[in-house]
Chains A and B, each alone.
Chain A
Amino acid sequence: MADSIPPRDWLLRVWDDEAVAFDVASGDTHYLRPLTRALFQTCQADPGLDAATIAARTATALGVALSADFLNAVDDGLDSLRRIGLLQAP
């Protein structure tokens, strides 16, 4: 069940560990909090990973433990990314 990075144009700007993203097609602007930004970075580097791998790699990148809370937060974050359209569910 792998998401893909969409072909539509997006503009992304990162400051420290947060980001803002602009969806050129819709004109919508979104804020990405640190975890969501990190998740997106993981997906961008390697599209098509499953949720578990995304969580693991992001945890490593952030230097945090793979706790139950973290996994929940990852689910929420991936949902956000799909909802705004930065990730496309297959």
Chain B
Amino acid sequence: MNAPDLLSRTLRAPDAARALSMGEWDLLLRQAHHAGLTSRLYHILRQAGCDEAIPAPARWHFEAADTLAARQQVAVRWEIAQVKKALGTAGIPLLLLKGAAYVAAGLPAAQGRLFNDLDILVPREALDAAESALMLAGWHATGLSAYDQRYYRRWMHEIPPLQHVQRATVIDVHHAILPDTARSRPDPARLRAQAVAVPGLPGVRVLCATDRILHSAAHLFHDGELPHGLRDLSDLDLLLRDAAREADFWPRLVARAGELELGRSLFHALRYVRHFLATPVPASVDVALARFAPARPVQALLDAVFTRALAPMHPSCEDRLTPAARLAAYVRAHWLRMPPRLLLPHLLHKAFLGEDAREAKAA
């Protein structure tokens, strides 16, 4: 597989920052900016005591990114409090997913991170009540085309993202971590059963450590857009390093992956998180997950796709195959999420509308 980029190499070995030339710092910042990882990189450098190696002209870039990340943490905490209040009126317990969960639980994966939407998990039976409670509190399904609304409700059995009228913050309400139409069906009841309380935040729960990791792994390969693939890998890397401090973690992770039908996602995720970020993974895990490995030619193809699609979206990290690789990753994610009869019209619709369709989806 091709060698990882300067950004990945610095994230996984921050000491290397001491030997970078000014030209490399220039490139590093540009890759980090495109990947949404400037504040994460700063955090990693600080943790390793290498931030004094940052040359004076580059310093403000890191500090400015850090300012944004710190501000967003405050905003996420506030948003969590508002969502908890809103759902509380309907008696629905709050279970946070992804970035908001990392912040709530004070995990290393919250450090230096930028946040988009706030993701929550509710029981399927509570979806309507949750949507009503949130709408009463000011979150509405705005800014989406009629097509996109149908996509979410009818085809993916999800509520479209809800945006707050004043704060413009967005909540994604999920009843499962993968769409109903996907080929893997991790049982949400099992996830909720193992969810853990957050110390210091009564009434707020998050997925347990193994489940957080499995969700991150599944999300990586089932989400069509990969503009922040490396950032998601970095989160996964931090989650794994942190969770691995517990005894028995790896066998529990593998077992849980089996229970949740996410063995293949975990296999792929570990492969690529190691490729980019050299996350330590015991050999026993490779043995246990070997049955999920695809045939060699398929593996070679997947490697060609994902070592490109997950790299920072910067010209210096791309080659002439990268556009095709990104398209392949996009199609594959949708293939995993939707049956063929839904997939083709969906892809045609998105391709035909081009830019506008993507903007509408991101709204």
Contacts and interface: CB of A to CB of B under 8 A. Distances in A.
Interface of A: 24-27
Given A25-B78, A27-B75, 8 more contacts: A24-B74, A25-B74, A25-B77, A25-B81, A26-B78, A27-B71, A27-B74, A27-B78
Nearest to B74: A27
Interface in B45-81: 71, 74-75, 77-78, 81
Contacts of A24: 74
A24 B77 CA distance: 11
Nearest to A23: B78
8 contacts: A24-B74, A25-B74, A25-B78, A25-B81, A26-B78, A27-B74, A27-B75, A27-B78
A50 B71 CA distance: 37
Interface centre among B77, B78, B81 (most CB of A within 10 A): B78
Q: Is the interface of B mostly helix, strand, loop or mixed?
A: helix
A34 B77 CA distance: 32
Contacts of B71: 27
Interface centre among A24, A25, A26, A27 (most CB of B within 10 A): A26
A49 B46 CA distance: 49
Nearest to B81: A25
A88 to B, nearest CB: 14
A25 B78 CA distance: 6
Contacts of B75: 27
A85 to B, nearest CB: 11
Contacts of B81: 25
A26 B74 CA distance: 7
A26 B80 CA distance: 11
Nearest to B167: A26
B5 to A, nearest CB: 35
Interface in B72-98: 74-75, 77-78, 81
Interface in B303-345: none
A26 B81 CA distance: 10
Contacts of A26: 78
B75 to A, nearest CB: 6
Contacts of B78: 25-27
A1 B77 CA distance: 30
A27 B82 CA distance: 14
Interface string B10-42: 000000000000000000000000000000000
A81 B257 CA distance: 51
B138 to A, nearest CB: 14
Nearest to A25: B78
A26 B77 CA distance: 9
Contacts of A27: 71, 74-75, 78
A24 B70 CA distance: 12
Contacts of A25: 74, 77-78, 81
Interface in B253-302: none
B25 to A, nearest CB: 32
A25 B80 CA distance: 11
Closest 5 CB pairs of A and B: A26-B78, A25-B78, A27-B74, A27-B75, A27-B78
A27 B78 CA distance: 9
Nearest to B77: A25
A28 B161 CA distance: 24
A85 B195 CA distance: 33
A22 to B, nearest CB: 12
A26 B75 CA distance: 7
Contacts of B74: 24-25, 27
A26 B82 CA distance: 10
A25 B73 CA distance: 10
A27 B73 CA distance: 11
B202 to A, nearest CB: 16
B106 to A, nearest CB: 17
A9 B249 CA distance: 39
A27 B81 CA distance: 13
Nearest to A26: B78
A27 B79 CA distance: 11
